[in-house]
Chain A
Amino acid sequence: EVQLVESGGGLVQPGGSLRLSCVASGFTFSSYWMHWVRQAPGKGLVWVSRINSDGSSTSYADSVKGRSTISRDNAKNTLYLQMNSLRAEDTAVYYCASTLKGSGSLMDVWGKGTTVTVSS
């Protein structure tokens, strides 16, 4: 069964840092692009970042560019999102999503999400 499991969320003060993780199983993780998408409370879906299959190419939404770093460890089947200089507006559920159908931005499998709360 294809599965994505996020972790690493929590309560952090403004200006703090968090590293989110997403462990993949049930597919050849190293072959596919991966994405992070977030959803603020009561709001819609917002794409955050993506990484290609070998980690050599990354892209970020303007809202997190310069403050976040996406990476992956294909040996551990794990995707990461390092988030620094966190702001209240970064409060959201963060989902990782895969692109198993091969279209780089088509998100066909999603994890259940991990919640990040930025508050003093």
Chain B
Amino acid sequence: DIVMTQSPDSLAVSLGERAAINCKSSQSVLYSSNNRNYLAWYQQKPGQPPKLLIYWASTRESGVPDRFSGSGSGTDFTLTISSLQAEDVAVYYCQHHSNTPPTFGQGTKVAIK
């Protein structure tokens, strides 16, 4: 199984400042057949189900604000929130969607400093 490791486990950022979350996979999730990275990011607010933010490592889901962006390739990925807003307080998870079983990172809790 592919192991997904996020860092940091938590971070506190001032409103309007940049937040970055890293995700590392134990093996590459880049498929050479289509040159796509099978990596997704989810946001989960307290008491709510997860919400898909980013897939194919950098494709923003419809309706997701453009302050959220994804980058990286192969085994190393980053979710960046360019200007943190109060409504972005949540836990963020990365997940590989390349094969079965799909696995999630342990989550990164984002708070306001």
Contact = CB atoms under 8 A, between A and B. Distances in A.
Given A44-B106, A45-B104, A46-B104, A106 B93 contact: no
A106 B97 contact: yes
Task: Classify chain A: how many residues form its interface, as a range.
Answer: 20 to 34
B57 to A, nearest CB: 12
A26 to B, nearest CB: 15
A95 interface: yes
A110 B42 CA distance: 11
B81 interface: no
B38 to A, nearest CB: 7
A50 interface: yes
Contact of B55 (A50, A108, A113): A108
Interface stretch (B18-26, B44-52, B71-79, B82-90): B44-52
Contacts of A109: 52
B12 to A, nearest CB: 19
A67 interface: no
Contacts of B97: 103-107
A47 interface: yes
A106 B40 contact: yes
Interface string B93-112: 10111111111111100000
Contact of A110 (B51, B104, B105, B106): B51
Interface of B: 38, 40, 42, 44, 48-52, 55, 61, 93, 95-107
Interface of A: 35, 37, 44-47, 50, 59, 61, 95, 101, 103-113
